[in-house]
Amino acid sequence: MPAPTGGAWDAVAVAEMNARFAGAHPGAILRAAVTELFPGDIALVSSFGAESALLLQLLAEIDPTTPILFLDTGKHFMETLMYRDILAGRFEFTDLRSLDPDPVAIAEQDPDGTLWSTNPDLCCQLRKIDPLTRALAPFGAWITGRKRYQSGARAALPHVELLDGRIKVNPLAHWSAADIEAGFRQYKLPQHPLVYDGFKSIGCQPCTIRVAANQDARAGRWSGSDKTECGIHRTPDGTNPDTN
């Protein structure tokens, strides 16, 4: 599928891409996005969390020069930072970008580092949403690792989305937890160290807890509140369906 005239994607083009990718292997979706649809104009946003290694493996097989964007919030588990470095070395990515929050904004609005406990939405805005918005500015598309099975709010997640003129590609959207586990075994991928300690979804240390085996994968994020997402994933109407 060639890029639209003038490079502007619209709802029709997105629908065509979703029809094309229905049931396709994530590797095929990723290859089309990186080499055909958005060459030189796409980045992968990775949390280096519990399931991140599989998508990184698939991308490394296609183009390890693709920019990898990591939100270094200053609140990560040390295990996450170690895992990031291990995977970056394993896959030999040449353009891993660490996105830091604006130090001036942090000094003004979170001087003692406890904003996460009093206003988690603002904390995510400062440490995740704002840095990612700045980093994505040069790109026409970005890749996420979201999947439908992770929570009820993601049950209808498409492979391709359009937001503010930028494309989001979700190659793993249709894969189940069993598919992900099989992929880890196939590629002999190392698990995030905290997976062995009962963490299914791993974010910032103050806002992440262990969950029971039968709980939703994201039940350990912002436990005890209605918040289930940091807010970087909005819909075209400006809402965030993952926060409910």
Positions marked active-site: 230
> What gap in Å lies between CA 126 and CA 222, rounded to an integer?
17
71, β-bridge pairs = 99
As a whole number of angstroms, the distance between CA 196 and CA 212 comes to: 12
Strand partners, 141: 42, 167
Q: Residue 179's closest CA among 150, 212, 218, 208?
A: 150
**Rounded Cα–Cα distance for residues 17 and 79 (Å):** 37
Other C-beta atoms lying within 10 Å of the C-beta of residue 35: 14
